[in-house]
Structure 1
Amino acid sequence: MSFSGKPTTLVEQQIDNDGFWPDLSVSEFQKGYRLPGEYLGDMLVVDLTTAMFEVNADLARCKSRWQSAGVSCVKSADTRVLPERTFHVATYKRAVYSRAKASLLTQFATVTRRDSAENTGKEAPERAETFLSFSQQAVRSLQGRGRMTAALL
């Protein structure tokens, strides 16, 4: 239950992915990322789907490289080809779920619409930036890159 008194209703919906990356569960997202009960299920689905497409685009080269090595699906990949597949599934979900939460947090003020409902823990810009950073860290990990990169200008 959220502080508004509205119970958090879990949305039992699966979002189908492209077959290579794992499918996503809205209820897993809600439980794992403690989303406020004020968000409508449709809003969760839209932002989660958008985040999935964005992360998939970020990982297109990685996917292509793994497919060239014979991996057709990360979740069931041969451990001799992709030994850390379990880690990759969890990291992929972290990338998508964190990016979706970052997007949803920026919309919280429009969800509550009352001054008395202001919640800086849910609305502060740095909260969204933190979750977007978590997403980018997970994407970089899947790409085999470190947390920081230096570029020659």
Structure 2
Amino acid sequence: MSFSGKPTNLVEQAIENDGFWPDLSVAEFQKGYRLPAEYLVELLADGLAIAMGEVNSDLAKRKTQWIAAGITNVAAADPLVLPERTHMAATYKRAVYCRAKAYLLQQFATVNRRAEAANVAKESPETREQFLAFSQQAVRSIQGRGRITAALL
């Protein structure tokens, strides 16, 4: 069920990744992040693909480090080399899914707009910023950084 009370038809569509990071699932995204039922499958897939590209770019340095350590696939990594592989794969998905939701929330106003049914939580800039922050926290976790970075000037 989406925000609007309309049933959400889950779409079993995979979004292929680069082989290193886990593939993504539109249905998993829909279930885990309660997207409005009004979104077309193409818009969901597009949002996931865009977010995936951005997160992959943010994590390029970490990917290079792990490849140098012999890891060729995060989810299937040797537990002796990457003991937290399951956590890292889940955190990667959170980074992508939160970023995709932030992107898609911006689109909602153009998908469905009825004055009597406006829902500020779906469209507010604060909600978008919160999901971008969730995504960035997940990226920083994978990079091995904390929530805050300080530099001595």
Which amino acid is the alignment partner of residue 125 of structure 1?
A: P
Q: Which runs of 5+ in 2 are unaligned?
A: none
Judged with a 3 Å threshold, the aligned counterparts in structure 2 of structure 1 residues 4 and 147 are, in CA distance, closer, same or farther, namely closer
- CA distances 1:26-72 after superposition (whole Å, capped 9, x unpaired): 00000001111011111000000000000000000000000000000
Contact conserved, 1:109 with 1:118, CA < 8 A, in 2? no
Cross-structure match for 1:62? 62
Equivalent pairs counted in the alignment come to: 153
Contact conserved, 2:3 with 2:34, CA < 8 A, in 1? no
Judged with a 3 Å threshold, the aligned counterparts in structure 2 of structure 1 residues 94 and 151 are, in CA distance, closer, same or farther, namely same
Judged with a 3 Å threshold, the aligned counterparts in structure 2 of structure 1 residues 3 and 94 are, in CA distance, closer, same or farther, namely closer
Identity of matched residues, %: 69
Contact conserved, 1:33 with 1:101, CA < 8 A, in 2? yes
Structure 2 residue matching 1:107: 3-state secondary structure: helix
Supply the RMSD in Å over aligned alpha carbons. Answer: 1.2
Larger mean Cα displacement after TM superposition, 101-110 or 133-142? 101-110
Cross-structure match for 1:103? 103
Contact conserved, 2:2 with 2:34, CA < 8 A, in 1? no
Judged with a 3 Å threshold, the aligned counterparts in structure 2 of structure 1 residues 2 and 34 are, in CA distance, closer, same or farther, namely closer
Contact conserved, 1:48 with 1:97, CA < 8 A, in 2? yes
Which amino acid is the alignment partner of residue 30 of structure 1?
A: Q
Offset at 1:109?
1.0
Which amino acid is the alignment partner of residue 51 of structure 1?
A: A
Output the CA distance in 1 between the equivalents of 2:84 and 2:130: 26
Cross-structure match for 1:80? 80
- CA distances 1:86-142 after superposition (whole Å, capped 9, x unpaired): 000000000000000001111111111222231011111100100000000000000
Q: Which runs of 5+ in 1 are unaligned?
A: none
Larger mean Cα displacement after TM superposition, 117-126 or 49-58? 117-126
Judged with a 3 Å threshold, the aligned counterparts in structure 2 of structure 1 residues 63 and 112 are, in CA distance, closer, same or farther, namely same
Output the CA distance in 2 between the equivalents of 1:31 and 1:88: 20
Offset at 1:152?
4.4
